[in-house]
Every structure is written in structure tokens, then in C-alpha cells.
């Protein structure tokens, strides 16, 4: 880092990726900041800078060794930060301790037998609450929330015809139990991660089983649906053209050639059609022309459903405006996945059971190709590229009707 780069960072003040600390910082304070950055998106601790941005400099002897000892002795799992010193003005140096986004989340500060977890929120490092911890564990792939039990959701609540069709026509099972044989079905679904035997002996659906196959998933799994709306203008309005919430199994009821009953994907696409396409006369024939390619909308919707974060209790949202179509999925990108990596075809599925099932049913062809297919489809269609926007708790895919307005 150069002197000018450091001064620019200081001028921009503290934020979600930068923390100022005086030279008198205690080791447990440094460990807290390092943990918070590793549990978020990485960041820098600038030692020798006051809260108001004034440069006080460093004077502690062998500061680099002190920093490494503070981190190695208190942070778990182990993190190796990058340390450098920059001379800002004569006699004043600032130490920059940088840490990347961690891949073994959640990170904690160890104090004897106690572990304290922290997360970066704006310009502050805060203690992580239970929901945040759950998301951090999932981000590291130490657990998949889709395998957690859904209380009250039993075999009776599954769309049993749909489940049978999946195993018979998609998975090619030769023999299946009668629908009344609850125990045999529960055993089969447990072995496929669609159900789970709890510590109290009850067998209930997992999040994956509920979302994929239950008749009305939101009855037991709030926010398992899709909220769709179409608007006349460029922003959300109370008086929408149409608005509907869809709550049904994610997969269609299969038959040999075409789905015998729609799933969530097909129903949402049917809602979208009148507001994203129109009929044009070609000779004596009427041909439907899509404002946005149907396959791109489908791909964006699948991306939102398959890779959503189930620890965040909000529906997937689809909104059609006069100039664009947006699909918003709960949850940021998992672990080390970035938008740039997605464009290159890298994919780490947050919900591998749901992903596998949707692949089985023909919704997904090859993992990692969805984003690239969306980009290619829009470029061919109207020369625009989709926007992929990540925030702390959501991921948005935005398709443009024509060239997007200049910022």
C-alpha cells in the first residue's frame, strides 16, 4: 500500500471495511476487530489513527510480532493477517493489519473456555446474535440449513402424488410403498434428506423436503414462496397492475413428456408472461415475442429459489417495472463466492439437496452455467447485460428492457 492510498482510506473514514485504532490498543480489542472482518468481507485495522482520522502514529516496539501474537493467541480458527507499515509523515508511521474474508466461518475470540463471535455492521464490530451465527455456519458449509427439521411438517403434508412421481419417473425406482405405508415412505425420505428423525422420535420434513414437495410449504416454513408484482412505472407502487403470492411445491408433478401439474417455477412464469411478452402478427400467424427472454427469466428465478438463504425469513421477490425486471433472493452470496467468480462459472451451492433435486427434474443443466447463460441470453436478445447486485442480506438479478440509463 502506498502513502497516497493510505491517506485516501483515512480520508474516507471508518466503514464496514476499515477500523481506526490508537497504538494503545489491547490484544483482545485487535482480535475482536480481526474476527469481525473475517466473519464479514474482510477489512483493515489501521493502528496509529484516531477516531477522527488524525494520525497519531505508532510507537510500540516490535509491533508486528505483537500483532501476530495477539491474533494467533486469541482467534479461532487460525487467521494469518497481512501486516505492513507506511510512513505518513516524518516520524509518524501507521500499521495496516489486513484480513481477507474468512473461509472457515464463524471465527471467534477465545477467552479461556469461552468463545465470543463478532460481525462487522457498518463501522462497528458487534457481537453476533444467534441468527447471524447460524448464517455464518451455513456460509462456511459446516452446516446446510436445508437439512434442519421443520416442526409439524409430516408425511401427511407432502404432495404424495408428486413425491411418488419424482421417485418413479425421475429417479426410476422400480418399487415404491403404498401411500398409506407411512413408515416406509418416511424411511425413504430420511435416506434422501427430505425428512429427519428428531431426538423426540418424531419424523418431520427438512427445509429441503418442505420446499420441494409439500402441498403448502409456507404453512410450516414461512417465506417459502414467491411474491410477484407488476407495476406501471419505474418504482414500486401501491396500485400495481397485478400482484400475487405463490405457495406450492417447487417441483412440478412429472409425467413422461410434460409436467402433469405445475410447480412453483411454472406458476410464477405464467404470471410473468402477460407483462413480459406480447403477440405479433407474422403473416397469418400470431407469434409470442418476449420483452425479456423466457429462458433468462426462468434462469434468474431458479437462481433465486435454489440458492436462497433459508435462515432469512423472507420470500423470493419478483417485480416487473416499465424498464426492467428484478428478482431478489434472500441472502448474500455464500462464503468466498463473488459476482466475478459467478460470471466465470464458479458456483458453491448453498442448498445442495435442493440443487440436486432440481437437476434431477431437469430444471438445471450444469452447475455454474446459470449466470453465464443469463448474460449470453440478454446480450443476444437486446445487447444488455444483467445487473448482479449483492448486499448484506439479499442478491438481486436485474434484467433491462433496453439499454439501462446512465448513472
Domain borders along the chain are 3-128, 147-219, 226-400
Measured CA to CA, the distance from residue 364 to residue 357 in angstroms comes to 9
Q: State the pLDDT confidence band at 406, using cuts at 50, 70 and 90.
A: low
User: What is the chain's Cα-based Rg?
Assistant: 25
Measured CA to CA, the distance from residue 339 to residue 343 in angstroms comes to 6
Q: Which helix (H) or strand (E) holds 13?
A: none
C-alpha cell at 146: 436445508
157 vs 103: which has the higher pLDDT: 157
Q: State the pLDDT confidence band at 315, using cuts at 50, 70 and 90.
A: very high
C-alpha cell at 232: 406501471
User: Which of 81, 74, 208 lies closest to 147, judged by CA?
Assistant: 208
Q: What is the pLDDT of residues 17-66, one digit of tens each?
A: 999 999 999 999 999 999 999 888 889 999 999 999 999 999 999 999 99
Strand partners, 124: 121
> Could you check whether the bond before residue 194 is cis, i.e. omega within 30 degrees of 0?
no
Its CATH architecture, for the domain 226-400, is 2-Layer Sandwich (3.30)
The mean pLDDT of 387-394, rounded to a whole number, is 90
Q: Is the Cβ–Cβ distance between 262 and 252 less than 8 Å? A: yes
Measured CA to CA, the distance from residue 325 to residue 291 in angstroms comes to 10
* pTM of the predicted protein model: 0.70
Domain 3-128: give its CATH superfamily. Answer: Schlafen, AAA domain (3.30.950.30)
Amino acid at each position: 500500500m502506498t502513502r497516497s492510498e493510505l491517506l485516501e482510506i483515512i480520508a474516507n473514514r471508518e466503514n464496514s471495511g476499515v477500523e481506526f485504532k490508537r497504538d494503545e490498543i489491547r490484544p483482545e480489542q485487535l482480535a475482536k476487530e480481526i474476527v469481525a472482518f473475517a466473519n464479514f468481507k474482510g477489512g483493515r485495522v489501521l493502528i496509529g489513527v484516531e477516531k477522527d482520522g488524525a494520525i497519531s502514529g505508532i510507537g510500540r516496539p516490535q509491533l508486528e510480532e505483537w500483532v501476530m501474537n495477539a491474533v494467533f493467541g486469541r482467534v479461532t480458527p487460525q487467521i494469518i493477517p497481512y501486516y505492513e507499515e507506511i510512513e505518513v509523515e516524518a516520524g509518524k508511521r501507521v500499521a495496516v493489519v489486513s484480513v481477507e474474508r474468512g473461509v472457515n466461518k464463524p471465527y471467534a475470540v477465545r477467552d479461556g473456555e469461552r468463545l465470543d463471535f463478532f460481525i462487522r455492521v457498518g463501522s462497528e464490530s458487534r457481537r453476533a446474535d444467534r441468527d447471524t451465527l447460524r448464517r455464518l455456519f451455513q456460509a462456511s458449509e459446516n452446516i446446510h440449513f436445508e437439512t434442519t427439521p421443520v416442526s409439524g411438517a409430516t408425511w401427511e403434508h407432502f404432495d404424495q402424488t408428486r413425491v411418488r412421481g419424482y421417485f418413479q419417473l425421475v429417479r426410476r425406482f422400480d418399487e415404491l410403498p403404498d401411500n398409506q405405508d407411512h413408515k416406509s415412505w418416511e424411511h425413504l425420505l430420511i435416506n434422501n434428506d427430505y425428512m429427519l428423525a428428531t431426538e423426540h422420535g418424531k419424523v418431520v420434513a427438512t427445509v429441503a423436503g418442505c420446499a420441494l414437495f409439500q402441498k403448502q410449504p409456507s404453512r410450516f416454513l414461512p417465506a417459502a414462496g414467491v411474491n410477484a408484482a407488476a407495476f406501471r412505472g419505474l418504482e414500486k407502487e401501491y396500485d400495481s397492475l397485478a400482484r400475487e403470492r405463490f405457495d406450492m411445491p417447487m417441483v412440478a408433478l412429472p409425467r413422461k413428456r410434460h409436467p402433469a401439474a405445475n410447480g412453483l417455477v411454472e406458476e410464477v412464469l405464467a404470471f410473468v408472461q402477460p407483462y413480459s411478452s406480447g403477440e405479433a402478427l407474422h403473416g397469418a400467424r400470431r407469434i409470442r415475442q418476449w420483452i425479456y427472454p423466457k429462458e433468462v427469466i426462468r434462469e434468474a428465478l431458479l437462481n433465486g429459489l435454489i440458492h436462497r438463504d433459508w435462515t432469512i425469513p423472507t420470500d423470493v421477490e419478483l417485480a416487473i417495472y416499465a424498464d426492467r425486471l428484478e428478482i431478489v433472493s434472500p441472502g448474500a452470496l455464500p462464503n468466498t463466492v463473488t459476482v466475478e467468480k459467478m460470471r466465470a462459472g464458479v458456483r458453491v451451492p448453498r442448498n445442495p439437496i435442493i440443487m440436486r433435486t432440481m437437476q434431477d427434474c431437469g430444471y438445471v443443466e450444469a452447475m455454474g452455467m446459470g449466470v453465464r447463460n443469463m448474460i449470453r441470453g440478454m446480450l443476444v436478445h437486446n445487447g444488455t447485460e444483467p445487473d448482479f447486485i449483492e448486499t448484506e442480506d439479499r442478491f438481486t438479478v436485474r434484467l433491462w428492457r433496453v439499454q439501462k440509463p446512465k448513472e
